């Protein structure tokens, strides 16, 4: 694939062990790109999933409590076939995504029987609809449980083929689709010096924005009109880190470590102490952290499942890698921090982008990739949270349209 006109290679491998009813017993997942590697191994024991996460050349262990044994993407069609597929049937089951290390509910409906063409042959199939976190897509499976075709988010279609057929159909390197540009949203208005903008007014169209935290903080959404007003740091009352702890009860979740935001790891803790260097002003502390991440992480388009420890080890990445490391360091410094996913303007396009928000007595947007505090008005927040929450972006990628109405 290509990212920002540069070729990138990525390998995804998933293997699962199941019982005769296709209930999950264990799995192995590995993602490898040129710069970053993440591996996850899991085993189900009674109502617990025991996870081993290999990231940043270290192994971390975690347990997830289960209401029921989850399914993985790789064994889902076989599980459905075991339940006897019938048109009109619907199922709700727990779904575990190894790439985000999260459980959630997946709803499946068997829509119809359909004859499709696979490798030049007509094949009988069942068309199913899968709904996960508001993202809906379709797949075609055989009665025996083989995945024949899938229409994934972002307009991607997957078809069952032999290795030889797939390799033969690969385009020349120069003709490959650039995923960054393919998912960008073009606009007619060219913004002068977008990094200096303090206010932006947009009209959003052609996509459902339900259940997205778009109208919050510096953003206000009325109907389909969105206004963004950048924070004025001069209005921020100086807040001491030592006093900020009093606020942390209600914001405790935004201080917690997670499998990919390892804020309690000794390496992250030690670096945070070194970077903050005794600074007790919360705003100045996040400025120091942002400056360190900006100065020490090489800017490079990266295909990865961003992990703070892996980024600290590789010292390379794009907005996702900068943001996950910044978030881990800020949380290690006892500054409530959440990851943000949304859009960023550049050259008549809005590109999908990631940055952070920190609570320093009030919320402020920080872009560690650009070392911007506060982030400029062309940062359009769509989602708050880690990768498991950012999945909801898939329902609007390729759909959302934007018109710029005003700016200054």
CA separation for the pair 207, 224 (Å, rounded): 10
CA separation for the pair 354, 341 (Å, rounded): 4
> For the chain, what is the domain count?
2
In DSSP notation, 336-391 reads -EEEEEEEEEETTEEEEEEEEEEESSSEEEEBTTTTBSSPPTTEEEEEESSHHHHG
**pLDDT for the residue numbered 102:** 81
Q: Does residue 212 sit in the same domain as residue 303?
A: yes
Domain termination residue (choose one: 97, 131, 162)? 162
Domain termination residue (choose one: 162, 196, 229)? 162
CATH assignment of the domain containing 374:
3.10.620.30
**pLDDT for the residue numbered 1:** 56
Sheet order of strands, 219-222 included: 219-222, 225-229, 199-205, 401-407
Q: Does residue 44 sit in the same domain as residue 105?
A: yes
Residue 180 lies in a domain: no
Q: Does residue 302 sit in the same domain as residue 350?
A: yes
Across residues 56-64, what is the average pLDDT?
83
Q: Binning pLDDT at 50, 70 and 90, where does residue 246 land?
A: low
Return the closest-CA partner of residue 1 out of 241, 176, 143: 176
Residue 194 lies in a domain: yes
**pLDDT for the residue numbered 291:** 98
Query: Mean of the per-residue pLDDT values for the chain?
Result: 89
CA separation for the pair 370, 319 (Å, rounded): 9
CA separation for the pair 337, 256 (Å, rounded): 9
**pLDDT for the residue numbered 244:** 74
Which percentage of the chain shows pLDDT scores above 90?
Answer: 53
**pLDDT for the residue numbered 122:** 93
CB 145 within 8 A of CB 404: no
Q: Does residue 43 sit in the same domain as residue 140?
A: yes
Q: Is the pLDDT of residue 249 over 70?
A: no
Phi, psi angles (nearest 5°) of residue 186: -80, 145
- φ/ψ bin of 347: left (φ > 0), alpha (ψ from -120 to 50), beta (otherwise): left
Residue 78 lies in a domain: yes
Q: Which of 43-47, 97-101, 159-163 has the lowest mean pLDDT?
A: 97-101
CA separation for the pair 202, 228 (Å, rounded): 9
Sign of CA dihedral 15, 21, 23, 26: negative
Per-residue b/e over 366-394, b at no fewer than 16 CB within 10 Å?
Answer: bbbbbebbbbbbbbbbbbbbbbbbbbbbb
Q: Does residue 352 sit in the same domain as residue 231?
A: yes
**pLDDT for the residue numbered 76:** 85
Q: Does residue 207 sit in the same domain as residue 86?
A: no
For 181-228, the pLDDT digits (tens) are 888 999 999 999 999 999 999 999 998 888 788 888 899 999 999 999
Residue 227 lies in a domain: yes
Q: Is the pLDDT of residue 2 over 70?
A: no
Q: Is the pLDDT of residue 247 over 70?
A: no
Across residues 221-236, what is the average pLDDT?
93
Residue 23 lies in a domain: yes
* More reliable by pLDDT, 139 or 101: 139
Q: Take residue 31 and report the two structure tokens written for it.
A: 């993602």
Q: Does residue 390 sit in the same domain as residue 314?
A: yes
Q: Does residue 222 sit in the same domain as residue 307?
A: yes
Q: Does residue 327 sit in the same domain as residue 296?
A: yes
Phi, psi angles (nearest 5°) of residue 163: -60, -40
Q: Does residue 125 sit in the same domain as residue 211?
A: no
Residue 119 lies in a domain: yes
Cα dist from 200 to 144, 312, 392, whole Å: 53, 34, 24
CB 140 within 8 A of CB 124: no
Across residues 367-395, what is the average pLDDT?
92
Across residues 142-153, what is the average pLDDT?
88
Q: Terminal CA-to-CA distance of the chain, rounded, Å?
A: 37
Q: Is the pLDDT of residue 394 over 90?
A: no
For 320-379, the pLDDT digits (tens) are 999 999 999 999 999 999 999 999 999 999 999 999 999 998 999 999 999 999 999 999
**pLDDT for the residue numbered 251:** 85
> What is the three-class DSSP state of 266?
helix
CB 31 within 8 A of CB 305: yes
Give the burial class of 57: count Cβ atoms within 10 A of its Cβ; 0-12 exposed, 13-18 middle, 19 or more buried.
exposed
Q: Does residue 256 sit in the same domain as residue 215?
A: yes
Across residues 292-300, what is the average pLDDT?
96
Residue 199 lies in a domain: yes
Q: Binning pLDDT at 50, 70 and 90, where does residue 66 land?
A: confident
In DSSP notation, 90-145 reads EEEEEEEETTTTEEEEEEEEEEEEEEEEETTEEEEEEEEEEEETTEEEEEEE-TTS
Across residues 396-402, what is the average pLDDT?
90
Domain termination residue (choose one: 111, 130, 162)? 162
Dihedral through CA 156, CA 352, CA 29, CA 2, nearest 10? 60
Residue 81 lies in a domain: yes
User: For residue 23, what are the domain limits?
Assistant: 2-162
Q: Does residue 79 sit in the same domain as residue 136?
A: yes
């Amino acid at each position: 694939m290509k990212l920002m006109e540069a070729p990138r290679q990525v390998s995804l491998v998933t293997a699962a062990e199941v019982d005769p009813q296709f209930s999950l017993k264990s799995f192995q997942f590995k993602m490898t790109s040129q710069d970053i590697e993440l591996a996850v191994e899991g085993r189900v024991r009674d109502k617990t999933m025991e996870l081993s996460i290999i990231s940043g050349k270290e192994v971390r262990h975690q347990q997830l409590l289960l209401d029921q044994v989850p399914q993985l993407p790789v064994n889902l069609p076989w599980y459905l076939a075991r339940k006897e597929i019938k048109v009109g049937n619907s199922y709700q089951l727990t779904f575990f995504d190894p790439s985000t290390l999260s459980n959630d509910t997946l709803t499946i409906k068997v829509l119809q029987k359909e004859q499709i063409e696979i490798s030049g042959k007509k094949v009988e199939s069942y068309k199913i609809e899968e709904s996960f976190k508001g993202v809906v897509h379709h797949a075609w499976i055989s009665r025996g449980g083989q995945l024949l075709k899938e229409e994934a988010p972002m307009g991607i279609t997957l078809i069952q083929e032999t290795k030889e057929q797939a390799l033969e159909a690969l385009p020349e390197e120069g003709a490959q689709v650039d995923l960054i540009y393919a998912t960008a949203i073009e606009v007619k208005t060219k913004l002068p010096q977008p990094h200096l903008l303090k206010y932006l007014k947009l009209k959003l169209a052609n996509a459902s924005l339900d259940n997205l935290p778009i109208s919050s903080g510096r953003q206000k959404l009325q109907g389909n009109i969105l206004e963004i007003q950048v924070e004025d740091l001069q209005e921020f009352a100086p807040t001491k880190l030592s006093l900020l702890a009093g606020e942390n009860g209600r914001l405790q979740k935004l201080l917690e470590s997670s499998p990919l935001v390892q804020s309690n790891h000794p390496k992250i803790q030690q670096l945070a102490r070194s970077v903050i260097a005794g600074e007790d002003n919360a705003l100045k502390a996040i400025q120091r952290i942002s400056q360190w991440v900006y100065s020490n992480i090489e800017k490079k388009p990266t295909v990865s499942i961003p992990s703070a420890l892996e980024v600290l080890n590789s010292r390379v990445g794009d907005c996702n890698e900068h943001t996950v490391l910044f978030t881990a360091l800020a949380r290690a410094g006892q500054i409530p921090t959440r990851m943000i996913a949304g859009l960023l303007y550049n050259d008549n396009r809005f590109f999908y982008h990631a940055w952070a928000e920190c609570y320093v007595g009030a919320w402020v947007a920080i872009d560690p990739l650009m070392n911007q505090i506060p982030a400029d008005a062309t940062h359009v927040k769509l989602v708050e949270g880690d990768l498991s929450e950012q999945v909801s972006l898939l329902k609007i990628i390729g759909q959302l349209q934007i018109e710029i109405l005003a700016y200054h």
